[in-house]
Structure 1
Amino acid sequence: MVDSGRFETDLKTLYLKRSSIKGRITKFKNYLDDLTSIKDISDLELSKCAMKLSRIESLFSEFEELQNQIEEKIAASDLDTELISRELIEQDFDNCISIGRSLVQRGLQPNQPSPHCSNNDSHFTSVNESEQELTDIDDQLSKFWELESVPQTKALTNEERLCQEHFLMNTVRDHDGRFCVGLPLRIKKNCLGNSYSLAKKRFMNLEKRFKLKPQLKELYVQFIQEYAKLGHLSPSPIKKPINAYFLPHHPVMKEKSESTRLRVVFDASAQTTSGMSVNDLQMKGPVIQDSLINILLRFRLYKYIISGDIEKMYRQVNVRESDRNLQLILWRDKESDPLQTLQCILLLMVFLARVF
């Protein structure tokens, strides 16, 4: 007979140990944040960073062993929550280790000013005007209103302008009438490190959730199969392409939704071993939507309002073939099957919202 009191005490001890590990990760993460703010890092500080990194890498093995013990002891109903916790902590480990290795191996590049920062134009009227100018009141009033008028067009930052030019030069329509675009990269693909290991680890955790929730797996399989049937997914000719990016993916369930209960989210911000993600490679385009206040005001102008929804609207834009290796995912219908490398042919929402 199992002593329930002792069992709960053992589990509590494991949770306390895990909390301690999470605290050490947070401390190391804060240390890296401080380090990346320094323009010129000394060799002594880099050596110190390497020592801390080595401890964190050893701590990761300790965490995995600890987490396995927790998952063995808890009730089956709590396992899904624990798998999510494991995934989040592993992601923190991966991010910290990637950044730490990047600093130690390559050193920190001097901070560059953000391409998104732009100085707002300010208009000033001179108080030291000549007597002759002051006599011409009409002219002064005209100048005043010209200076205080609101610009009709928004000034674009240099990156927004380059992104817009890239879109105009690299957007075509294929034989089906679909738009085909290229990803606007500001950094070369070879800056990416290994993303396969993290994507595989996250997929294995996903399969554990499938065991607990067969209905979730059924919906997920239907989603992937629909993607493939519509021609949005295709097998990659190479299992592990060079200068490629594997997107981790996970489900978001909406039980009350009548149309789409399952939404699959692709994580384009997951860092590779170089400390960079595919999001980091891309330029950010200008905001082309109207402002919220203008939309709300238009709602008040007319007596009747008609709203609608275009089915699968965001699946109508394809990505050119040379950029599809930045949209790879791992998948298999059954655990007994080998892992497949699939490439997304259409432009994923994670890029559509950011760039186009």
Structure 2
Amino acid sequence: MGGTVVQTSNRICSLVLVSSDFTTKVTAQAIVLPQLTKILPRFQPTREQRGEWSPIQLADPICHSPSQIDLVIGSDLTPQIMLEGIEHISKNLLAQKTIFGWILSGQMPNKVVSFSTQVEQNSNQLLESQLRKFWEVEEVPTPNLTNPEDKLCEELYLSTTSRTPEGPYIVRLPFKQSFPNEITLGQSRTTALQQFFGMGRSLQKKGDLKPLYDNVLGEYRTLNHMEETTSYEKSSEGKYYSFYLPTTRLSNPRKEPPRYVSYLMHHGDQVPDSLLMMFSPTGPTLQPDLMLLILKGHTYQFVFNGDVEKMYRQILLHKDHQNYQRIVFRSSPSSPIRDYRLRTVKFGVNCAPFLAIRTLHQLSDDVKITYPLAVPILKTETTYFQEVMTSSQQLNLSPKSFKL
């Protein structure tokens, strides 16, 4: 379940399954899990394959379109939902009549593997990844090779990025070419609400964290880094064109100023189904290797570092893509839930480091005549977490010209 070997659950909810004509009701209990399945189906049937079952009235008319699965029905309920009626569509595909409509079962050629095989495969991949990281810790990293997705990110950045008269750059999220025609988003607001309520209960127990949380959101609104939007998800023909970022928690909440990471994407086994992992490439690695940058600092006689304040939030997101960075929030338990969309690049999403560092490189190109000394520092000595490490030699300064 969820692509993992083991998942734990401490909640059960009661529900009623209702037939499409409202004549049959099935009472059941459901176990609540952090994640049910991955985006299904994992492939797109061809038009010829879809034509084989087009005359049948399916329970899910767009079952061929990859989307999030909200409920998995166990075999204990099968006798109550199955009706008389079986159609052999092809040698490997069967249609069965249920209280919800017709459902499909069987195998598409060379595409579907069994669930047990999938779990074992993921487990081996995780172990292999951990072993590889263990042996590569002491190795000198090799430069990443450019792949088609990296080229796509660069081409999209060059063709879609603009700059306002006030200075900030406006970028777009580099979605994969298969989005949204072949892979699509599902509903996300319900999940975001559940996580927000859960975090709210946690913050109420830790009263000292609630003001910090509210202050950060207040800063977002004060700086116009987010704006209120509608409470309904944008969708058309079963495809969703908005996404609510999952709520987790504050990291290092007592850090001054606190870094707001409450809406980072989940990590671990849930990553493949998160928004920007599934639908957007990471982009090429542009920042220098941190270890090499630190080692380089040891070659200088005098070293200093700086911080690009709110680097990610200095970069605006195009209005067409702001709906993919929605959140829900209310200032108190008695206040109504309000929906917001973030107007700037969000730290924590998959392509954010590429967009941030690439914008710094673009800035260095745009100001290379006016500020030539800044160009090599922005391009070779700035990390993706806003830190700048350089020396007086790089700036052609004497040690007396600045204070350590």
Residue 264 in 1 paired to residue 261 in 2? yes
SS at the partner of 1:95? Answer: coil
Q: Is the 8 A contact 1:255 1:261 kept in 2?
A: yes
Selected match of 2:301 from 300, 303, 307: 303
Q: 1:235 to 1:255 in 2, by over 3 A?
A: closer
The CA deviation string for residues 245-303 of structure 1, in whole angstroms up to 9 with x for no partner, is 0012232343663x23453332335899x956343110221111123454234213221
Normalising by the residue count of structure 2, what TM-score does the alignment of the two structures yield?
0.51
Q: 2:253, 2:193 → 1: CA distance?
A: 27
SS at the partner of 1:266? Answer: coil
Give 2:174's aligned residue. 184
- The amino acid that maps onto 2:278 is D
Give 2:333's aligned residue. 335
- After TM superposition, the structure 1 = structure 2 runs for residues 271-350 of structure 1, keeping only pairs within 5 Å, are 277-350=275-348
SS at the partner of 1:194? Answer: coil
- The amino acid that maps onto 1:176 is E
Q: Is the 8 A contact 1:283 1:355 kept in 2?
A: no
Q: Which structure: larger Rg? A: 1
Q: Give how far 1:353 is off.
A: 3.9
- After TM superposition, the structure 1 = structure 2 runs for residues 200-215 of structure 1, keeping only pairs within 5 Å, are 200-215=193-208
Q: Is the 8 A contact 1:324 1:345 kept in 2?
A: yes
Q: 2:250, 2:36 → 1: CA distance?
A: 26
Residue 197 in 1 paired to residue 168 in 2? no
Q: 2:346, 2:151 → 1: CA distance?
A: 22
**Structure 2: gaps spanning 5 or more residues:** 15-30, 44-59, 65-106, 113-141, 356-404
Q: Which has the higher strand share?
A: 2
Selected match of 2:161 from 171, 190, 195: 171
Give 2:218's aligned residue. 225
Q: 1:166, 1:238 → 2: CA distance?
A: 30
Q: Give how far 1:173 is off.
A: 0.5
Q: 1:165, 1:201 → 2: CA distance?
A: 38
The CA deviation string for residues 133-180 of structure 1, in whole angstroms up to 9 with x for no partner, is xxxxxxxxxxxxxxxxxxx98641111111111111111111321011
**Structure 1: gaps spanning 5 or more residues:** 1-24, 32-55, 67-88, 112-151
- The amino acid that maps onto 1:188 is F
Q: Give how far 1:184 is off.
A: 0.5
Q: Give how far 1:183 is off.
A: 0.4
The alignment's C-alpha RMSD in Å is 3.7
SS at the partner of 1:288? Answer: coil
Determine which structure has greater relative contact order: mean sequence separation of CA pairs < 8 Å that are 6+ residues apart, divided by chain length.
1
Q: Is the 8 A contact 1:330 1:339 kept in 2?
A: yes
Q: Is the 8 A contact 2:286 2:354 kept in 1?
A: no
Q: 2:193, 2:309 → 1: CA distance?
A: 31
SS at the partner of 2:261? Answer: strand
Q: Is the 8 A contact 2:327 2:340 kept in 1?
A: yes
Q: Is the 8 A contact 1:299 1:305 kept in 2?
A: yes
Q: Is the 8 A contact 1:246 1:327 kept in 2?
A: yes
Q: Is the 8 A contact 2:312 2:352 kept in 1?
A: no
SS at the partner of 2:327? Answer: strand
Selected match of 1:161 from 129, 151, 159: 151
Q: Give how far 1:339 is off.
A: 1.1
Q: 1:252, 1:286 → 2: CA distance?
A: 28
Q: 1:224 to 1:256 in 2, by over 3 A?
A: closer
Q: Which has the higher helix share?
A: 1
Normalising by the residue count of structure 1, what TM-score does the alignment of the two structures yield?
0.57
Q: 1:322, 1:197 → 2: CA distance?
A: 22
Q: 1:262 to 1:300 in 2, by over 3 A?
A: closer
Q: Give how far 1:215 is off.
A: 1.8
Selected match of 1:254 from 252, 255, 261: 252
Q: 1:328, 1:269 → 2: CA distance?
A: 15
Q: 2:289, 2:273 → 1: CA distance?
A: 34
Q: 2:229, 2:324 → 1: CA distance?
A: 11
Q: 2:300, 2:336 → 1: CA distance?
A: 58
Residue 234 in 1 paired to residue 231 in 2? no
Give the percent of matched residue pairs that are identical in Structure 1 and Structure 2: 21
Greater shift in the superposed pair: 313-322 or 205-214 = 205-214
Q: Is the 8 A contact 1:327 1:344 kept in 2?
A: yes
- After TM superposition, the structure 1 = structure 2 runs for residues 4-153 of structure 1, keeping only pairs within 5 Å, are 29-30=4-5, 63-64=11-12, 93-97=33-37, 99=39, 105-106=63-64, 110=111
The CA deviation string for residues 208-267 of structure 1, in whole angstroms up to 9 with x for no partner, is 11221222111111110110000001001453322210012232343663x234533323
Q: 1:250 to 1:30 in 2, by over 3 A?
A: closer
SS at the partner of 1:350? Answer: coil
Q: Is the 8 A contact 1:278 1:326 kept in 2?
A: no
